Amino acid sequence: MPYCTDCGNEVRDGHSYCRQCGTQLTEGQNSGPAPTAGAPEVGFLSHESMEYLKGALEGGTDEEHPGHASLMRDVAAAFQDFAVIGKLDELNLLAILASGVQSETYNETETELMLLGFFRTIRLYDESFGTDWEDELLDQLTRAIDQAKANLEDENP
């Protein structure tokens, strides 16, 4: 059975699009062994989802577009991952974010997107569940900044 070269899903001979991710298949592209389906190089969204999002940012979403199904699948998988991560009480997501921001792995745009995504995700949870995590986080950040300023003043009177 042939496979989609993007997501690794089995596709039927003669199909022009992958039923799983919506990738257009070219002649010969949908044959051969299953590719190693892994995470994208950066982030959790597939190529199809990113392409769909680029268009959606300019023209809005279209639930009939094949990329929409890919986006829903990618985001649902990411939320499942976050749910598992959220079960670890000792995991400090803010520290992980800070280490990612300080890393040389990400360029300036990727770092800005990482920060934006972090805070936007918290806002989405607050809007969806009526929580006030964003306010709590901002209070914690304000206290941490104030403490850091006080420490600098103590070190450099």
In a domain? residue 48: no
Task: Kindly report each contact of residues 141-144 with a partner whose C-beta sits within 8 Å and lies 24 or more positions away, as own/partner.
Answer: 141/94
- Mean pLDDT of all residues in the chain? 78
In a domain? residue 124: yes
In a domain? residue 146: yes
Q: How many domains are contained in the chain?
A: 1
Each residue's pLDDT tens digit, 83-129: 788 778 787 777 888 887 787 888 888 888 888 888 888 888 888 88
Burial status of residue 93 (CB atoms within 10 A of its CB: 0-12, 13-18, 19 or more): middle
Domain that holds residue 118: 92-157
Stated pTM of the model: 0.51
Per-residue pLDDT in tens (0 to 9) along the chain, 157 residues: 577 777 777 777 767 777 777 777 765 544 444 444 443 455 778 888 888 888 888 889 999 888 898 889 888 888 888 778 877 878 777 788 888 778 788 888 888 888 888 888 888 888 888 888 889 888 888 898 899 899 988 888 7
In a domain? residue 130: yes
In a domain? residue 153: yes
In a domain? residue 27: no
In a domain? residue 155: yes
In a domain? residue 133: yes
